[in-house]
Structure 1
Protein backbone atom coordinates (compact mmCIF):
# COMPACT_ATOMS: atom_id res chain seq x y z
CA UNK A 1 0.00 0.00 0.00
CA UNK A 2 2.65 2.51 1.07
CA UNK A 3 4.78 1.94 -2.02
CA UNK A 4 1.89 3.21 -4.18
CA UNK A 5 2.22 6.80 -2.94
CA UNK A 6 3.83 9.00 -5.57
CA UNK A 7 2.40 12.35 -4.56
CA UNK A 8 4.26 14.31 -1.84
CA UNK A 9 2.28 14.42 1.41
CA UNK A 10 2.54 18.22 1.47
CA UNK A 11 0.50 18.35 -1.77
CA UNK A 12 -2.49 16.82 0.02
CA UNK A 13 -2.17 18.96 3.15
CA UNK A 14 -1.69 22.14 1.09
CA UNK A 15 -4.94 21.47 -0.78
CA UNK A 16 -6.88 20.42 2.34
CA UNK A 17 -5.88 23.57 4.21
CA UNK A 18 -5.65 25.93 1.22
CA UNK A 19 -9.15 25.27 -0.14
CA UNK A 20 -10.71 25.48 3.33
CA UNK A 21 -8.87 28.51 4.63
CA UNK A 22 -9.25 30.56 1.43
CA UNK A 23 -13.00 29.84 1.27
CA UNK A 24 -13.46 30.49 5.00
CA UNK A 25 -11.51 33.75 4.88
CA UNK A 26 -14.49 35.54 3.33
CA UNK A 27 -17.08 34.73 6.05
CA UNK A 28 -14.38 35.38 8.68
CA UNK A 29 -13.79 38.86 7.27
CA UNK A 30 -17.55 39.40 6.93
CA UNK A 31 -18.13 38.54 10.59
CA UNK A 32 -15.51 41.18 11.50
CA UNK A 33 -17.24 43.80 9.35
CA UNK A 34 -14.37 43.98 6.84
CA UNK A 35 -16.50 42.57 3.98
CA UNK A 36 -20.18 42.74 3.16
CA UNK A 37 -21.43 39.24 2.39
CA UNK A 38 -24.97 37.92 2.31
CA UNK A 39 -25.91 35.03 4.58
CA UNK A 40 -26.33 32.70 1.59
CA UNK A 41 -22.89 33.56 0.21
CA UNK A 42 -21.32 32.95 3.62
CA UNK A 43 -22.96 29.52 3.82
CA UNK A 44 -21.70 28.63 0.33
CA UNK A 45 -18.15 29.64 1.34
CA UNK A 46 -18.36 27.57 4.55
CA UNK A 47 -19.72 24.54 2.71
CA UNK A 48 -17.21 24.78 -0.16
CA UNK A 49 -14.28 25.12 2.22
CA UNK A 50 -15.30 22.02 4.15
CA UNK A 51 -14.54 19.93 1.06
CA UNK A 52 -10.83 20.80 1.15
CA UNK A 53 -9.79 17.39 2.57
CA UNK A 54 -12.10 15.56 0.14
CA UNK A 55 -10.76 17.34 -2.96
CA UNK A 56 -7.16 17.10 -1.75
CA UNK A 57 -7.43 13.37 -1.09
CA UNK A 58 -8.99 12.43 -4.42
CA UNK A 59 -6.55 14.57 -6.42
CA UNK A 60 -3.63 13.02 -4.52
CA UNK A 61 -4.99 9.48 -4.98
CA UNK A 62 -5.45 10.13 -8.71
CA UNK A 63 -1.88 11.37 -8.95
CA UNK A 64 -0.74 8.30 -7.01
CA UNK A 65 -2.38 5.67 -9.21
CA UNK A 66 -4.93 7.02 -11.69
CA UNK A 67 -8.58 5.96 -11.85
CA UNK A 68 -7.87 2.46 -10.54
CA UNK A 69 -6.50 3.94 -7.31
CA UNK A 70 -9.49 6.32 -7.09
CA UNK A 71 -11.94 3.41 -7.44
CA UNK A 72 -10.13 1.39 -4.76
CA UNK A 73 -9.99 4.38 -2.40
CA UNK A 74 -13.66 5.36 -2.90
CA UNK A 75 -14.66 1.70 -2.53
CA UNK A 76 -13.32 1.68 1.02
CA UNK A 77 -16.33 3.79 1.99
CA UNK A 78 -18.48 0.72 1.22
CA UNK A 79 -16.59 -1.69 3.50
CA UNK A 80 -19.49 -2.38 5.81
CA UNK A 81 -18.12 -5.57 7.37
CA UNK A 82 -16.97 -4.55 10.83
CA UNK A 83 -17.15 -6.12 14.24
CA UNK A 84 -20.08 -5.19 16.45
CA UNK A 85 -17.81 -3.43 18.94
CA UNK A 86 -16.54 -1.08 16.23
CA UNK A 87 -19.99 -0.36 14.85
CA UNK A 88 -21.49 0.34 18.28
CA UNK A 89 -18.51 2.52 19.20
CA UNK A 90 -18.89 4.50 15.97
CA UNK A 91 -22.60 5.08 16.51
CA UNK A 92 -22.86 5.46 20.30
CA UNK A 93 -19.54 6.46 21.86
CA UNK A 94 -19.66 10.24 21.45
CA UNK A 95 -23.43 10.58 22.15
CA UNK A 96 -23.03 8.53 25.36
CA UNK A 97 -19.94 10.50 26.41
CA UNK A 98 -21.78 13.77 25.82
CA UNK A 99 -24.82 12.45 27.71
CA UNK A 100 -22.59 11.73 30.72
CA UNK A 101 -21.04 15.21 30.50
CA UNK A 102 -24.47 16.87 30.30
CA UNK A 103 -25.86 14.76 33.17
CA UNK A 104 -22.87 15.84 35.29
CA UNK A 105 -23.43 19.46 34.27
CA UNK A 106 -27.12 19.27 35.24
CA UNK A 107 -26.13 18.13 38.72
CA UNK A 108 -23.62 20.99 39.06
CA UNK A 109 -25.79 24.01 38.37
CA UNK A 110 -26.19 23.60 34.62
CA UNK A 111 -29.43 23.30 32.64
CA UNK A 112 -31.65 20.27 33.29
CA UNK A 113 -30.60 17.18 31.33
CA UNK A 114 -32.59 17.09 28.09
CA UNK A 115 -32.40 15.80 24.53
CA UNK A 116 -32.94 18.66 22.09
CA UNK A 117 -34.14 16.59 19.11
CA UNK A 118 -37.31 14.51 18.87
CA UNK A 119 -36.71 10.83 18.17
CA UNK A 120 -38.81 10.99 15.01
CA UNK A 121 -36.40 13.54 13.51
CA UNK A 122 -33.25 11.57 14.30
CA UNK A 123 -33.07 9.36 11.16
CA UNK A 124 -33.41 12.28 8.71
CA UNK A 125 -31.05 14.45 10.75
CA UNK A 126 -28.48 11.65 10.81
CA UNK A 127 -28.72 11.22 7.03
CA UNK A 128 -28.34 14.98 6.45
CA UNK A 129 -25.29 15.14 8.70
CA UNK A 130 -23.78 12.04 7.09
CA UNK A 131 -24.05 13.41 3.55
CA UNK A 132 -23.72 17.17 4.06
CA UNK A 133 -22.62 17.86 7.63
CA UNK A 134 -18.88 17.30 7.34
CA UNK A 135 -18.45 13.52 7.37
CA UNK A 136 -18.11 12.96 3.61
CA UNK A 137 -16.47 16.38 3.22
CA UNK A 138 -13.66 15.48 5.62
CA UNK A 139 -13.21 11.78 6.35
CA UNK A 140 -11.98 10.69 2.91
CA UNK A 141 -9.26 13.28 3.39
CA UNK A 142 -8.32 12.33 6.94
CA UNK A 143 -8.27 8.64 5.94
CA UNK A 144 -5.77 9.44 3.20
CA UNK A 145 -3.83 11.57 5.69
CA UNK A 146 -3.45 8.79 8.26
CA UNK A 147 -2.20 6.45 5.52
CA UNK A 148 0.46 9.04 4.65
CA UNK A 149 1.45 9.84 8.24
CA UNK A 150 1.74 6.12 8.98
CA UNK A 151 4.59 6.00 6.44
CA UNK A 152 6.69 8.15 8.77
CA UNK A 153 5.32 7.49 12.25
CA UNK A 154 4.01 4.60 14.29
CA UNK A 155 0.21 4.41 14.29
CA UNK A 156 -0.49 6.04 17.68
CA UNK A 157 1.77 9.08 17.18
CA UNK A 158 0.39 9.39 13.64
CA UNK A 159 -3.19 9.39 14.97
CA UNK A 160 -2.36 11.96 17.66
CA UNK A 161 -0.56 14.18 15.15
CA UNK A 162 -3.51 13.96 12.77
CA UNK A 163 -5.77 14.97 15.66
CA UNK A 164 -3.68 18.14 16.10
CA UNK A 165 -3.74 18.81 12.34
CA UNK A 166 -7.51 18.21 12.26
CA UNK A 167 -8.06 20.62 15.13
CA UNK A 168 -5.87 23.31 13.55
CA UNK A 169 -7.64 22.89 10.19
CA UNK A 170 -10.75 24.33 11.93
CA UNK A 171 -8.97 27.48 13.19
CA UNK A 172 -10.69 29.99 10.83
CA UNK A 173 -14.11 28.80 12.07
CA UNK A 174 -13.28 30.11 15.55
CA UNK A 175 -13.25 33.62 14.09
CA UNK A 176 -16.66 33.42 12.42
CA UNK A 177 -19.39 34.77 14.68
CA UNK A 178 -22.27 32.40 15.37
CA UNK A 179 -20.51 29.16 14.40
CA UNK A 180 -20.28 26.40 17.00
CA UNK A 181 -16.51 26.76 17.21
CA UNK A 182 -16.80 30.44 18.14
CA UNK A 183 -18.39 29.37 21.45
CA UNK A 184 -15.69 26.77 22.29
CA UNK A 185 -12.33 27.14 24.03
CA UNK A 186 -9.75 26.14 21.43
CA UNK A 187 -7.61 24.17 23.93
CA UNK A 188 -10.58 21.93 24.79
CA UNK A 189 -11.42 21.53 21.11
CA UNK A 190 -7.84 20.39 20.45
CA UNK A 191 -8.06 17.83 23.27
CA UNK A 192 -11.30 16.60 21.72
CA UNK A 193 -9.92 16.33 18.17
CA UNK A 194 -6.76 14.49 19.27
CA UNK A 195 -8.68 12.09 21.53
CA UNK A 196 -11.44 11.49 18.99
CA UNK A 197 -8.99 10.95 16.13
CA UNK A 198 -7.16 8.29 18.15
CA UNK A 199 -10.51 6.51 18.54
CA UNK A 200 -11.46 6.93 14.86
CA UNK A 201 -8.08 5.59 13.70
CA UNK A 202 -8.53 2.59 16.03
CA UNK A 203 -11.80 1.80 14.21
CA UNK A 204 -10.28 2.52 10.80
CA UNK A 205 -7.17 0.38 11.32
CA UNK A 206 -9.20 -2.46 12.83
CA UNK A 207 -11.66 -2.75 9.93
CA UNK A 208 -9.29 -3.09 6.95
CA UNK A 209 -9.11 0.69 6.56
CA UNK A 210 -12.85 1.10 6.14
CA UNK A 211 -13.60 4.74 5.44
CA UNK A 212 -17.24 3.94 6.27
CA UNK A 213 -16.46 3.55 9.96
CA UNK A 214 -14.71 6.95 9.97
CA UNK A 215 -17.82 8.43 8.36
CA UNK A 216 -20.02 6.84 11.05
CA UNK A 217 -17.84 8.16 13.88
CA UNK A 218 -17.82 11.68 12.43
CA UNK A 219 -21.58 11.70 11.85
CA UNK A 220 -22.31 10.52 15.38
CA UNK A 221 -20.13 13.33 16.72
CA UNK A 222 -21.94 15.97 14.68
CA UNK A 223 -25.27 14.45 15.71
CA UNK A 224 -24.24 14.79 19.36
CA UNK A 225 -23.98 18.56 19.07
CA UNK A 226 -27.60 18.55 17.88
CA UNK A 227 -28.79 16.08 20.52
CA UNK A 228 -27.60 18.09 23.51
CA UNK A 229 -26.67 21.70 24.20
CA UNK A 230 -23.05 20.63 24.70
CA UNK A 231 -22.00 24.04 23.42
CA UNK A 232 -23.67 26.90 25.28
CA UNK A 233 -24.51 29.69 22.84
CA UNK A 234 -26.11 31.91 25.49
CA UNK A 235 -24.40 35.08 26.79
CA UNK A 236 -23.27 33.04 29.84
CA UNK A 237 -21.16 30.78 27.57
CA UNK A 238 -20.94 27.96 30.07
CA UNK A 239 -18.06 25.91 28.62
CA UNK A 240 -18.21 23.10 31.18
CA UNK A 241 -20.37 20.80 29.04
CA UNK A 242 -17.94 20.74 26.12
CA UNK A 243 -14.88 20.60 28.39
CA UNK A 244 -16.47 17.62 30.15
CA UNK A 245 -17.04 15.87 26.82
CA UNK A 246 -13.44 16.55 25.75
CA UNK A 247 -12.07 15.12 29.01
CA UNK A 248 -14.26 12.01 28.83
CA UNK A 249 -13.09 11.43 25.25
CA UNK A 250 -9.49 11.92 26.39
CA UNK A 251 -9.96 9.18 29.01
CA UNK A 252 -11.52 6.88 26.40
CA UNK A 253 -8.69 7.54 23.93
CA UNK A 254 -6.06 6.72 26.58
CA UNK A 255 -7.85 3.43 27.28
CA UNK A 256 -8.00 2.65 23.56
CA UNK A 257 -4.34 3.61 23.06
CA UNK A 258 -3.24 1.25 25.84
CA UNK A 259 -5.44 -1.72 24.94
CA UNK A 260 -6.19 -1.70 21.19
CA UNK A 261 -4.45 -4.42 19.21
CA UNK A 262 -3.67 -2.10 16.28
CA UNK A 263 -1.76 0.32 18.51
CA UNK A 264 0.05 -2.42 20.44
CA UNK A 265 1.04 -4.11 17.18
CA UNK A 266 2.35 -0.84 15.72
CA UNK A 267 4.37 -0.17 18.90
CA UNK A 268 5.87 -3.67 18.91
CA UNK A 269 6.87 -3.25 15.24
CA UNK A 270 8.74 -0.06 16.13
CA UNK A 271 10.54 -1.81 19.02
CA UNK A 272 11.55 -4.69 16.73
CA UNK A 273 12.88 -2.19 14.18
CA UNK A 274 14.93 -0.40 16.84
CA UNK A 275 16.39 -3.71 18.01
Structure 2
Protein backbone atom coordinates (compact mmCIF):
# COMPACT_ATOMS: atom_id res chain seq x y z
CA UNK A 1 0.00 0.00 0.00
CA UNK A 2 1.11 3.52 -0.64
CA UNK A 3 0.37 6.88 0.83
CA UNK A 4 -2.59 8.48 -0.87
CA UNK A 5 -3.26 12.18 -0.39
CA UNK A 6 -6.13 12.50 -2.85
CA UNK A 7 -9.16 14.53 -1.84
CA UNK A 8 -11.90 12.04 -0.86
CA UNK A 9 -14.61 14.28 -2.30
CA UNK A 10 -12.88 14.46 -5.68
CA UNK A 11 -12.72 10.65 -5.93
CA UNK A 12 -15.98 9.67 -4.22
CA UNK A 13 -18.27 11.73 -6.44
CA UNK A 14 -16.88 10.25 -9.69
CA UNK A 15 -16.99 6.79 -8.13
CA UNK A 16 -20.68 7.01 -7.28
CA UNK A 17 -21.58 8.61 -10.63
CA UNK A 18 -19.77 5.96 -12.69
CA UNK A 19 -21.16 3.17 -10.54
CA UNK A 20 -24.77 4.28 -10.92
CA UNK A 21 -24.50 5.13 -14.63
CA UNK A 22 -22.90 1.79 -15.49
CA UNK A 23 -25.24 -0.36 -13.40
CA UNK A 24 -28.49 1.45 -14.08
CA UNK A 25 -27.86 1.58 -17.84
CA UNK A 26 -27.92 -2.22 -18.04
CA UNK A 27 -30.53 -2.69 -15.33
CA UNK A 28 -32.98 -0.24 -16.91
CA UNK A 29 -32.82 -2.28 -20.11
CA UNK A 30 -33.95 -5.28 -18.06
CA UNK A 31 -36.62 -3.17 -16.33
CA UNK A 32 -38.09 -2.04 -19.65
CA UNK A 33 -38.04 -5.61 -20.93
CA UNK A 34 -39.87 -6.72 -17.77
CA UNK A 35 -42.64 -4.23 -18.60
CA UNK A 36 -42.78 -5.50 -22.22
CA UNK A 37 -41.47 -2.32 -23.83
CA UNK A 38 -39.44 -4.59 -26.10
CA UNK A 39 -38.21 -8.17 -26.36
CA UNK A 40 -34.59 -8.91 -25.63
CA UNK A 41 -32.71 -11.41 -27.81
CA UNK A 42 -31.08 -12.84 -24.67
CA UNK A 43 -32.27 -13.47 -21.12
CA UNK A 44 -32.52 -10.23 -19.15
CA UNK A 45 -30.56 -11.82 -16.31
CA UNK A 46 -27.47 -11.26 -18.48
CA UNK A 47 -28.03 -7.51 -18.24
CA UNK A 48 -28.56 -7.84 -14.50
CA UNK A 49 -25.23 -9.62 -14.16
CA UNK A 50 -23.34 -7.10 -16.26
CA UNK A 51 -24.85 -4.17 -14.37
CA UNK A 52 -23.82 -5.67 -11.04
CA UNK A 53 -20.20 -4.96 -11.97
CA UNK A 54 -20.73 -1.19 -11.68
CA UNK A 55 -18.88 -0.72 -8.36
CA UNK A 56 -16.00 -2.92 -9.53
CA UNK A 57 -15.67 -1.18 -12.90
CA UNK A 58 -15.78 2.24 -11.26
CA UNK A 59 -13.20 1.37 -8.61
CA UNK A 60 -10.80 -0.22 -11.09
CA UNK A 61 -11.16 2.63 -13.58
CA UNK A 62 -10.50 5.38 -11.04
CA UNK A 63 -7.71 3.44 -9.33
CA UNK A 64 -6.08 2.74 -12.68
CA UNK A 65 -6.25 6.38 -13.75
CA UNK A 66 -4.45 7.49 -10.60
CA UNK A 67 -2.11 4.61 -9.75
CA UNK A 68 -1.98 2.51 -12.93
CA UNK A 69 -1.76 -1.25 -12.95
CA UNK A 70 0.17 -1.20 -9.69
CA UNK A 71 -2.79 0.36 -7.93
CA UNK A 72 -5.27 -2.02 -9.57
CA UNK A 73 -3.27 -5.07 -8.53
CA UNK A 74 -2.94 -3.68 -5.01
CA UNK A 75 -6.70 -3.19 -4.77
CA UNK A 76 -7.46 -6.70 -6.04
CA UNK A 77 -4.91 -8.30 -3.70
CA UNK A 78 -6.46 -6.50 -0.73
CA UNK A 79 -9.68 -8.44 -1.25
CA UNK A 80 -8.02 -11.86 -1.05
CA UNK A 81 -6.13 -11.65 2.22
CA UNK A 82 -7.45 -14.79 3.92
CA UNK A 83 -5.45 -14.22 7.10
CA UNK A 84 -8.37 -13.89 9.49
CA UNK A 85 -8.64 -15.21 13.01
CA UNK A 86 -10.76 -18.30 13.62
CA UNK A 87 -13.15 -16.03 15.51
CA UNK A 88 -13.71 -13.85 12.43
CA UNK A 89 -14.09 -16.82 10.11
CA UNK A 90 -16.76 -18.41 12.32
CA UNK A 91 -18.55 -15.15 13.09
CA UNK A 92 -18.77 -14.05 9.46
CA UNK A 93 -19.83 -17.45 8.13
CA UNK A 94 -22.28 -18.41 10.86
CA UNK A 95 -24.04 -15.16 11.82
CA UNK A 96 -26.00 -14.76 8.53
CA UNK A 97 -26.96 -18.44 8.52
CA UNK A 98 -28.16 -18.33 12.13
CA UNK A 99 -30.22 -15.17 11.64
CA UNK A 100 -31.80 -16.27 8.34
CA UNK A 101 -32.47 -19.77 9.67
CA UNK A 102 -33.99 -18.42 12.89
CA UNK A 103 -36.27 -16.04 10.97
CA UNK A 104 -37.49 -18.77 8.60
CA UNK A 105 -38.01 -21.29 11.40
CA UNK A 106 -39.95 -18.79 13.52
CA UNK A 107 -42.10 -17.89 10.53
CA UNK A 108 -42.89 -21.57 10.01
CA UNK A 109 -44.29 -21.68 13.54
CA UNK A 110 -46.32 -18.53 12.94
CA UNK A 111 -47.71 -19.37 9.49
CA UNK A 112 -48.28 -22.33 7.15
CA UNK A 113 -45.53 -21.12 4.77
CA UNK A 114 -42.71 -23.61 4.16
CA UNK A 115 -39.76 -22.28 2.16
CA UNK A 116 -37.81 -24.09 -0.53
CA UNK A 117 -35.03 -25.92 1.32
CA UNK A 118 -33.59 -27.70 -1.71
CA UNK A 119 -30.07 -26.45 -1.02
CA UNK A 120 -30.32 -27.30 2.68
CA UNK A 121 -31.32 -30.84 1.78
CA UNK A 122 -28.40 -31.17 -0.65
CA UNK A 123 -25.36 -30.10 1.40
CA UNK A 124 -22.89 -31.15 -1.29
CA UNK A 125 -24.07 -28.18 -3.35
CA UNK A 126 -23.54 -25.61 -0.58
CA UNK A 127 -19.85 -25.05 -1.38
CA UNK A 128 -20.45 -24.59 -5.15
CA UNK A 129 -23.25 -22.12 -4.36
CA UNK A 130 -20.97 -20.31 -1.91
CA UNK A 131 -18.22 -20.01 -4.52
CA UNK A 132 -20.72 -18.82 -7.12
CA UNK A 133 -21.98 -16.17 -4.71
CA UNK A 134 -18.43 -15.08 -4.00
CA UNK A 135 -17.24 -14.67 -7.58
CA UNK A 136 -20.47 -14.04 -9.52
CA UNK A 137 -23.21 -13.42 -6.98
CA UNK A 138 -22.32 -9.90 -5.92
CA UNK A 139 -19.32 -10.01 -3.59
CA UNK A 140 -16.49 -9.49 -6.08
CA UNK A 141 -18.64 -7.27 -8.28
CA UNK A 142 -19.55 -4.93 -5.42
CA UNK A 143 -17.15 -5.02 -2.49
CA UNK A 144 -14.00 -3.85 -4.28
CA UNK A 145 -16.02 -0.71 -4.94
CA UNK A 146 -18.14 -0.16 -1.84
CA UNK A 147 -15.75 -1.29 0.87
CA UNK A 148 -12.48 -1.39 -1.11
CA UNK A 149 -12.65 2.05 -2.75
CA UNK A 150 -15.40 4.13 -1.12
CA UNK A 151 -15.23 3.17 2.57
CA UNK A 152 -11.58 4.13 3.19
CA UNK A 153 -12.23 7.54 1.66
CA UNK A 154 -15.47 8.03 3.59
CA UNK A 155 -13.55 7.28 6.79
CA UNK A 156 -11.41 10.30 5.97
CA UNK A 157 -14.52 12.48 5.95
CA UNK A 158 -16.61 11.09 8.80
CA UNK A 159 -16.43 8.78 11.78
CA UNK A 160 -17.16 5.07 11.12
CA UNK A 161 -20.83 5.36 12.14
CA UNK A 162 -21.69 8.10 9.64
CA UNK A 163 -19.44 6.64 6.96
CA UNK A 164 -21.17 3.25 7.25
CA UNK A 165 -24.68 4.74 7.32
CA UNK A 166 -24.04 6.92 4.27
CA UNK A 167 -22.49 4.07 2.30
CA UNK A 168 -25.26 1.69 3.35
CA UNK A 169 -27.91 4.11 2.11
CA UNK A 170 -26.17 4.66 -1.23
CA UNK A 171 -25.62 0.93 -1.57
CA UNK A 172 -29.30 0.21 -0.93
CA UNK A 173 -30.58 2.86 -3.35
CA UNK A 174 -28.20 1.53 -6.01
CA UNK A 175 -30.25 -1.71 -6.01
CA UNK A 176 -33.52 0.12 -6.73
CA UNK A 177 -34.02 -0.92 -10.41
CA UNK A 178 -33.75 -4.58 -9.42
CA UNK A 179 -37.08 -4.27 -7.61
CA UNK A 180 -38.78 -3.81 -10.99
CA UNK A 181 -37.17 -6.71 -12.83
CA UNK A 182 -39.45 -9.73 -12.95
CA UNK A 183 -38.07 -13.08 -11.77
CA UNK A 184 -35.61 -11.42 -9.35
CA UNK A 185 -36.17 -12.02 -5.65
CA UNK A 186 -35.96 -8.26 -5.04
CA UNK A 187 -39.20 -7.79 -6.98
CA UNK A 188 -41.00 -9.43 -4.05
CA UNK A 189 -39.14 -7.59 -1.27
CA UNK A 190 -40.20 -4.51 0.63
CA UNK A 191 -37.76 -1.79 -0.44
CA UNK A 192 -37.89 -0.03 2.93
CA UNK A 193 -36.91 -3.21 4.76
CA UNK A 194 -34.18 -3.81 2.19
CA UNK A 195 -32.70 -0.37 2.92
CA UNK A 196 -32.71 -1.17 6.63
CA UNK A 197 -30.83 -4.36 5.83
CA UNK A 198 -28.17 -2.62 3.73
CA UNK A 199 -27.68 -0.11 6.55
CA UNK A 200 -27.17 -2.98 9.00
CA UNK A 201 -24.88 -4.85 6.63
CA UNK A 202 -22.83 -1.71 6.04
CA UNK A 203 -22.43 -1.08 9.77
CA UNK A 204 -21.47 -4.69 10.45
CA UNK A 205 -19.01 -4.85 7.55
CA UNK A 206 -17.44 -1.56 8.60
CA UNK A 207 -16.99 -2.98 12.09
CA UNK A 208 -15.42 -6.18 10.73
CA UNK A 209 -13.21 -4.19 8.35
CA UNK A 210 -11.83 -2.04 11.16
CA UNK A 211 -11.61 -4.86 13.68
CA UNK A 212 -9.56 -6.97 11.24
CA UNK A 213 -7.03 -4.18 10.60
CA UNK A 214 -8.85 -3.11 7.41
CA UNK A 215 -8.94 -6.50 5.75
CA UNK A 216 -11.25 -6.12 2.74
CA UNK A 217 -11.73 -9.89 2.57
CA UNK A 218 -14.06 -9.60 5.60
CA UNK A 219 -16.53 -7.66 3.44
CA UNK A 220 -16.39 -10.12 0.55
CA UNK A 221 -16.77 -13.06 2.91
CA UNK A 222 -19.68 -11.51 4.82
CA UNK A 223 -21.48 -10.51 1.61
CA UNK A 224 -21.09 -14.07 0.33
CA UNK A 225 -22.28 -15.57 3.61
CA UNK A 226 -25.39 -13.37 3.56
CA UNK A 227 -26.28 -14.32 -0.03
CA UNK A 228 -25.64 -18.01 0.67
CA UNK A 229 -27.81 -17.88 3.80
CA UNK A 230 -30.70 -16.56 1.68
CA UNK A 231 -30.33 -19.60 -0.58
CA UNK A 232 -30.22 -21.98 2.37
CA UNK A 233 -33.19 -20.32 4.11
CA UNK A 234 -35.22 -18.29 1.56
CA UNK A 235 -37.06 -15.67 3.66
CA UNK A 236 -39.56 -14.62 0.97
CA UNK A 237 -42.24 -16.39 -1.01
CA UNK A 238 -41.70 -15.43 -4.62
CA UNK A 239 -45.26 -14.83 -5.74
CA UNK A 240 -47.63 -11.87 -5.65
CA UNK A 241 -49.00 -11.45 -2.15
CA UNK A 242 -46.69 -14.19 -0.89
CA UNK A 243 -45.61 -14.69 2.70
CA UNK A 244 -42.80 -12.24 3.50
CA UNK A 245 -42.88 -12.43 7.31
CA UNK A 246 -39.53 -14.22 7.54
CA UNK A 247 -37.88 -11.35 5.64
CA UNK A 248 -39.33 -8.89 8.16
CA UNK A 249 -38.18 -11.05 11.07
CA UNK A 250 -34.69 -11.38 9.60
CA UNK A 251 -34.46 -7.61 9.21
CA UNK A 252 -35.46 -7.14 12.84
CA UNK A 253 -32.82 -9.66 13.95
CA UNK A 254 -30.13 -7.81 11.99
CA UNK A 255 -31.24 -4.49 13.48
CA UNK A 256 -30.98 -5.97 16.98
CA UNK A 257 -27.53 -7.48 16.36
CA UNK A 258 -26.29 -4.26 14.76
CA UNK A 259 -27.56 -2.17 17.67
CA UNK A 260 -25.73 -4.41 20.13
CA UNK A 261 -22.50 -4.14 18.11
CA UNK A 262 -22.75 -0.33 17.93
CA UNK A 263 -23.34 -0.05 21.68
CA UNK A 264 -20.53 -2.48 22.48
CA UNK A 265 -18.11 -0.84 20.03
CA UNK A 266 -19.29 2.76 20.47
CA UNK A 267 -15.74 4.02 20.97
CA UNK A 268 -14.84 2.72 17.51
CA UNK A 269 -17.99 3.91 15.76
CA UNK A 270 -17.89 7.40 17.23
CA UNK A 271 -14.16 8.01 16.97
CA UNK A 272 -12.95 11.00 14.97
CA UNK A 273 -12.46 10.75 11.22
CA UNK A 274 -9.12 9.51 10.01
CA UNK A 275 -6.33 11.89 9.10
CA UNK A 276 -6.00 12.76 5.40
CA UNK A 277 -2.60 11.15 5.18
CA UNK A 278 -4.09 7.76 6.16
CA UNK A 279 -3.13 4.94 3.85
CA UNK A 280 -5.83 3.66 1.51
CA UNK A 281 -5.69 1.06 -1.22
TM-score by length of 1: 0.91
- Verify the 8 A CA contact 2:27 2:177 in the aligned structure 1: yes
- Verify the 8 A CA contact 1:116 1:229 in the aligned structure 2: no
- Verify the 8 A CA contact 2:115 2:235 in the aligned structure 1: no
Question: Aligned residue for 1:129?
Answer: 133
Q: What is the alpha-carbon distance in structure 2 between the residues aligned to residue 222 and residue 268 of structure 1?
A: 31
**CA separation of 1:114/1:28 partners in 2, compared to 1, >3 Å: closer, same or farther?**
closer
User: Structure 1 residue 110: deviation in Å?
Assistant: 3.7
The partner residue of 2:33 within 22, 26, 30 is 30
Aligned counterparts, 1:32-181, within 5 A = 32-40=35-43, 42-112=44-114, 115-117=117-119, 118-143=122-147, 144-181=149-186
Question: Aligned residue for 2:270?
Answer: 267
Q: Which is bigger in relative contact order (C-alpha 8 A, separation at least 6)? A: 2
User: Structure 1 residue 2: deviation in Å?
Assistant: 5.2
Aligned counterparts, 1:217-236, within 5 A = 217-236=222-241
Aligned counterparts, 1:192-271, within 5 A = 192-260=197-265, 264-269=267-272
Q: CA RMSD in A?
A: 1.8
Q: What is the alpha-carbon distance in structure 1 between the residues aligned to residue 105 and residue 91 of structure 2?
A: 20
Number of equivalenced pairs: 267
Which SS does the other structure have where 2:45 is aligned? helix
User: Structure 1 residue 239: deviation in Å?
Assistant: 1.5
Which SS does the other structure have where 1:8 is aligned? helix
The partner residue of 2:15 within 7, 12, 15 is 12
Bigger fraction of residues in helix: 1
Deviates more, 1:114-123 or 1:22-31: 114-123
TM-score by length of 2: 0.89
**CA separation of 1:181/1:113 partners in 2, compared to 1, >3 Å: closer, same or farther?**
closer
Gaps of 5+ in 1: 271-275
Which SS does the other structure have where 2:242 is aligned? coil
- Verify the 8 A CA contact 2:100 2:235 in the aligned structure 1: yes
**CA separation of 1:84/1:175 partners in 2, compared to 1, >3 Å: closer, same or farther?**
same
- Verify the 8 A CA contact 1:200 1:214 in the aligned structure 2: yes
User: Structure 1 residue 266: deviation in Å?
Assistant: 5.0
Q: What is the alpha-carbon distance in structure 2 between the residues aligned to residue 89 and residue 154 of structure 1?
A: 24
Q: What is the alpha-carbon distance in structure 2 between the residues aligned to residue 52 and residue 225 of structure 1?
A: 23
- Verify the 8 A CA contact 2:160 2:271 in the aligned structure 1: no
User: Structure 1 residue 199: deviation in Å?
Assistant: 0.6
**CA separation of 1:53/1:113 partners in 2, compared to 1, >3 Å: closer, same or farther?**
closer
